[in-house]
Amino acid sequence: MIEIKDLHKKFGKQEVLKGVNISVEQGKIYAVLGPNGSGKTTIIKTILGMVIKDKGSISVNGIDIEKNASYRNDIDYLPQIANFPGNLKVHELIKMIKDIRGNDADETPLIELFGLQPFLKKKLNNLSGGTKQKVNLVLTFMFDSPIVILDEPTSGLDPVAMLHLKNLIRETKAKGKLILITSHIISFVEEMADEIIFLLEGTIYYKGTLEGLNEKTEETSLERAMAKLLTANKSVA
Ligand code: ADP
C-alpha cells in the first residue's frame, strides 16, 4: 500500500504538485492520467526517492519513505526513458541490474516471452526503440516485487508484445501486487485499470473507477471524459 499525503513539489518557481493526496492498495491496477506536464512522472519519482518533495508525506506499507530506504527493494520500476549505457550488450545489462539489486531473478521466461534471445549479444545502441522497451520490461518484471510502477509501458511495442505486456500485468495483479501505471493509450487504460487517478493543475481531480469518472463528467468513454476535463481546463492542457 502507498499513501501520499499533502505532497507539494516546486521546480524553481513552477509549482508542479500542489497538495496531492492518494492512497493505493495491493491487488489493484491504478492508472495515473493527466495532461503532459501535469506531474505524473514527478509523483512516481517522488515515491521512488528520485525527486525530493518540498512538503507532505509518503508511506509504503506503513513505513515513511524518509525514515528507511529499504522499501525500494519492494518496488519494480519501469522508467519512461531508460538511459542505459549504449555500449553494453543486453545480457551484460541484465547481469548488471541483477548484481546491483543483489537479487537472484530468473529472466529466462521473460526473454522467451518477448522473443529477445537473438538480441542478447547485441549492444543496446543497436536495438530499435521497441526492442529496448522489451528489454526494459524484462528488467522490471524479473524481480517479482510486491509493487510494480510502470511509466508509459506500451511505448514502441508491437501488437504481440502489447498482448504479452497485458497478460503480464494481469498475472501480476492476480498475485495480489499493487500496479501503478501512467499511459497515454486510452484503450490500454480502459482495458487494464481498476481505478483512474486523474491529475489536474497539480492536484488530484478524480480517483475512482472509470464508470465513476464517466458519471462525474456525464460522458460515456474515458476519451470523451478526458477531452471534456481538458477543454474545461484549457490553461493546463
Ligand atoms: P508528466 O509526467 O505529467 O508529463 P512531469 O512530472 O514529467 O509531467 O513534469 C511536470 C512539470 O515539471 C513539467 O513542466 C516539467 O517540465 C517540470 N519538471 C519535471 N522535472 C523537472 C526537473 N528535474 N527540473 C525542472 N523542471 C522539471
The string of pLDDT tens digits covering residues 87-109 is 999 999 999 999 998 877 889 99
In a domain, 214, yes or no: no
Asked if 145 contacts 70 with a C-beta cutoff of 8 angstroms, the reply is: no
In a domain, 179, yes or no: yes
* Average pLDDT value for residue range 141-162: 95
Q: Please report which residue ranges of the chain form alpha helices under DSSP H.
A: 40-48, 90-101, 108-113, 129-141, 159-174, 186-192, 210-217, 222-232
In a domain, 231, yes or no: no
Pocket test for ligand 1, best of 9, 13, 16 (most atoms within 8 A of CB): 16
Residue 70 has pLDDT above 80, yes or no: yes
Q: Which atom of ligand 1 is nearest to the CA of 51?
A: 23
How does residue 231 score in pLDDT terms, banded at 50, 70 and 90? confident
In a domain, 212, yes or no: no
Residue 234 has pLDDT above 90, yes or no: no
Residue 94, domain CATH: 3.40.50.300
Residue 122 has pLDDT above 50, yes or no: yes
What is the model's pLDDT at position 237?
Answer: 40
Q: pTM of the prediction? A: 0.93
In a domain, 93, yes or no: yes
Query: Which domain, by its residues, includes 161?
Result: 2-14+29-38+46-193
Encode pLDDT of 173-229 as tens digits. Answer: 999 999 999 998 899 999 999 999 999 889 999 999 999 999 988 998 888 988 888
Number of structural domains, the chain? Answer: 1
Q: If we measure between CA atoms, which residue out of 48, 43, 35, 39 comes closest to residue 16? A: 39
In a domain, 201, yes or no: no
Q: Which atom of ligand 1 is nearest to the CA of 36?
A: 4
Higher-confidence residue of 111 and 82: namely 111
Encode pLDDT of 22-45 as tens digits. Answer: 999 999 999 999 988 899 999 999
